[in-house]
Structures are given as structure tokens and as C-alpha cells.
Structure 1
Amino acid sequence: MVSRQELEALSEEELKAMLDKDRMPKHVAIIMDGNRRWAKQRGLPILQGHRAGSRATRQVVEACVELGIPILTLYAFSTENWRRPPLEVQALLHLIEVTLKRERDELNANGVRVRHIGSTEGLPESLVRTLKETEEMTRDNSTLLLNIAINYGGRNELVRAVHSIAQKIKSGLLKPEDIDESIISAHLDTNGLPDPDLLIRTGNEWRISNFLLWQIAYTELYVTPTLWPDFNKREFLLALIDFQRRERRFGGISHVTAR
């Protein structure tokens, strides 16, 4: 097996050649962490870190399209992020909106379908409108489904799912004894999608941070010290190679034999 040190010496094309196309993850989720630290290390305003992070996002989306990964879910703004300074929150949400407007024509041309997951409550009206317009523009695309988690929290998602199920029970559309894992999954923001195969977290933080709590029960985790603005296609390839070396047992026998 090629060591991590040896992998670091390989070119992007050599890394790509190492991947088994038949064992690519169907769904990759990413906690994009480190924008603020990246900016502080360079003596730059925090917003510059978020802007640099948006360039990393573009590279990963391009890599997923290129490699044929069908679903990518990005944690862009959590329910906890509202606790940050108001000016930073306002600037970050504005940056998300501007970036969507700038990128959506190219995303559409490349067959990327954009979908928002999370709550729209409290979000600026212009951002909600931009999200809806982008979803409508790209709704028929099938090359890549890009889920953008904005104002998203795993606990909040579960609470909203429970409320929805409770309303159906109250109206007689559902019986309490009908509730099982499939019913709960059907009321989540990711309804109809396979659970993530791989969760990448940048910035060397070993936390889930309230992200996809239900969906990542058997997801493979990959944590890298690389801050999100420095994450690129090469880093993404290294994460995929690591994933393909894992034995996925799902609580039982091995589903993949590590090389």
C-alpha cells in the first residue's frame, strides 16, 4: 500500500489514476471549516477567509462533476452561526447569495442541480429568493446534486421532522405504530437521498457540529488539518483514496476489502 508520504509526492493525475471508479462514494458531505482561522493567520479580515473558501468550494464541485460523484452536500451556514457577530453573519449570507448568482449559470451548464437544505426562517428575503430561483433554474439537471446547507442544524432538522409527523398523526394521515426509520428519513431535508458515504471535515476539528446527525450513522469520517480555503482537488483526491481503503461493515461483515 502506498504510504501517505508517498501519496503527497504524486501529481494530481497520478492520484486520480489510483481511484477505482466502481468504488466511488455516491454521496460526499463536507464540513467546510477554517475560513476564519485562515484569515486570522494572514492578518486579513474574516470575510476574506470566507471569500477564499468559496474558491475551494468551486474546485470540489468541479471535481465531483469530473469524477462522476452524484451527490455533494456542503455545510455553508449552521443554525449556530447566528451567534457570530451580526456584521459577519450579514456579510457571510450576502457572500453566499452573490456567489450563487455568479456561479449558477455555469453550474446549470455543467448539469449541476442545486438544492437548499435547512430552514429559511430568519434568512434574508433576497437570499431565499435567490435559492428558489437557482433551484428552479437547475431542477432538471442530473450530473450532480449539490445540497447547500444554509441555516441548517441536525437537531433542528429532527425537530421539524417530528413536528411534521405529529401533524400527520393528528390529522389521521399516519398512525403512531407506523413510525419507523423509513418514516423519519422521509421527513428529513434529505428525503429520497442515500446517506453520505463519506464525511470530510477540514481544519482538524474532530466534531460533527450538528451536521446530518441522523444520516451519518454509518458514514466514513475523514478529518484533515488543511483549512477550507486551502482545500483543493488534490486534497479531495487524497480523501477519496483514503475512503477507498476503508472496510465498510455497517455493523456486520465487510462490504469492501481494503487494499
Structure 2
Amino acid sequence: MDGNRRYARGKGKMVQEGHGEGYVALRRILEICLRLNIHCVSVYAFAIDNFKRSPDEVDALMHLAENKLLELCAHGNLLQEYGVKLNVIGKIQMFPESVQTAVRKAEDLTKRNNRSILNICMPYSSRDEMTSAVEGCIREALAKDNDYFTNDPVESITEDTINSHLMSVQRGSPPVDILIRTSGVKRLSDFMLWQCCENAQLHFSKTYWPDFGLFDFVPIILEWQRSVWFRRHDVLFRS
């Protein structure tokens, strides 16, 4: 969800206001996704490296995260209306205690929802997620009985075992179909690199995130549907 700060500066607003309007855009796009029966949405809300930003901006983001997590999950709100389970993916222990409490409360409030999933990735980096997955695989392999292995325990670690230890996969997320980055920047910035390495379509929109809406989003969905249709018919033709 890129472009909040540039959007704010272009409008002569405080950076914090840009992040606040970015949250409004998240609600808007999330509701569009839910109405289109998109069952899993993952958003990159706060990178681990974002802690290096100015203290004022980090503090504002922490307050925004705490308040909006609880607002998202309030009784009768969007997640409850559509039966969405909220997962916060990342190194939660890096947050202030008040934000960690909000994370736990928000996840607990939605844990019984089973129609859709919203992953909010924060504080997150894909390399950290992959590193943690490999560490988990190694710990699991070494903890098993030695008789289970014919050779070195580490030989039991495969792409499938690493994939199964990814935080997003462990929280029930399917493979990524579409990755969108707004604001015209054409790089992934350490977001879901493993998940996007095979069949995910990448789309780079010039629109700043707070302005991103239906007319930006629908053409991306239609292009994905068209490509899936062509792939299926190509398989049928070959068979």
C-alpha cells in the first residue's frame, strides 16, 4: 500500500494524515474484494525497516495501528459482517505492548470467522519470514527421533516443508494469485517473495494508495481472469 507519504505531501497535509487516508483506502478495497468473493487479502502495512523512520512518524503509525485494529474488528464492522478472520503476520514482539495487546484482541475477536482471511503484514519482511521458516524446519527436524532419518536430518527439509512453515501459510493463506503495488514504484520491497515466485501476476499501479479505488482495481482483476481463462483453454487444447 505505497504512496501515503507522497500523497500527503502533494496535498499539503501531514504525513500522518496520509497514513490515515491510506486506512480508509484499505477499508474501501477490502470491501470490494469481499463483494467479489476474493477469499484472502494480504496487505503490507509496516515493514521491519520502517522502524528506522522518524520517531514522530513511527509513533503516529503505532497509534494508528492500535486504534484501527480495534476499529476493524468492532461489533457490526466490516470483518464481522463478511466473516473475515484477521491475522497479523510478522514480528509482533517488536511492537509496543499496547499494540501487541490490540493485535491479540483483534485476532481473538475474529478467530471464529471462516469465510475469508485478511492478513495484515506488520512488522514484516519476506526475508525474515523465510528465515524463520527455515529455522522452524531445522528445529523440527532435529527434534524428531534419529531413527526417523536415513541420513542427515536436514535432508528432510524440502521446498514443501519450508513452505508449510511460512507464517502466512500456517495461518491458512492460499498461494498468491495477484500482487499489486501502488504509487508507480516497480519493486517488491521484500513482500511475499517466496509466495510470488511461481504463478502470481504482478501489477504496478501509478495511483497513490489513498486514491486507489474501484476503477484502478477492477481492470487488474479482469486481466487476471482473462489470463486464467487462456491458461485453462491452452491446457484443454493440448490435451
TM-score, length-scaled by structure 1: 0.81
Cα drift, residue 200 of structure 1: 0.6
Does residue 1:120 correspond to 2:100, yes or no?
no
Q: Which residue of 1 aligns with 2:215?
A: 234
Distance (whole Å) between structure 2 residues aligned to residue 77 and residue 156 of structure 1: 13
Q: Which residue of 1 aligns with 2:23?
A: 54
Q: Which of the residues 190, 196, 202 maps onto 2:182?
A: 202
Structure 2 portions without partners, runs of 5+: 235-239
Structure 1 stretches (4+) deviating beyond 6 angstroms?
none
Distance (whole Å) between structure 2 residues aligned to residue 169 and residue 245 of structure 1: 42
Does residue 1:154 correspond to 2:132, yes or no?
no
Describe the superposition over 1:159-204 as per-residue Cα deviations: whole angstroms up to 9, x where unpaired. Answer: 1112212222332368222111110011111124321100011001
SS in 1 for 2:175: coil
Cα drift, residue 247 of structure 1: 5.6
Cα drift, residue 255 of structure 1: 3.9
SS in 1 for 2:144: coil
Amino acid at match of 2:193: L
Q: Which residue of 2 aligns with 1:77?
A: 46
Cα drift, residue 103 of structure 1: 2.1
Distance (whole Å) between structure 2 residues aligned to residue 61 and residue 139 of structure 1: 18
Distance (whole Å) between structure 2 residues aligned to residue 256 and residue 244 of structure 1: 12
**Which fold has the larger relative contact order, with Cα–Cα distance below 8 Å and residues 6 or more apart in sequence?**
1
Q: For 1:35-114, what aligned pairs fall within 5 Å after superposition?
A: 35-105=4-74, 106=77, 107-114=79-86
Cα drift, residue 242 of structure 1: 2.2
Cα drift, residue 112 of structure 1: 1.2
Over 3 Å counting, the alpha-carbon distance change for 1:134 and 1:171 in structure 2 is same
Q: Which residue of 1 aligns with 2:163?
A: 185
Amino acid at match of 2:214: K
Distance (whole Å) between structure 1 residues aligned to residue 177 and residue 233 of structure 2: 12
Q: Which of the residues 113, 138, 141 maps onto 1:141?
A: 113
SS in 1 for 2:188: coil
Conserved? CA contact 1:64–1:144, under 8 Å: no
Distance (whole Å) between structure 2 residues aligned to residue 169 and residue 189 of structure 1: 18
Q: Which of the residues 172, 185, 192 maps onto 1:212?
A: 192
Amino acid at match of 2:111: R
Amino acid at match of 1:36: R
Cα drift, residue 140 of structure 1: 1.4
TM-score, length-scaled by structure 2: 0.87
Conserved? CA contact 2:89–2:119, under 8 Å: yes
Name the one with the larger helix percent: 2
Q: CA RMSD in A?
A: 1.8
Conserved? CA contact 2:5–2:18, under 8 Å: yes
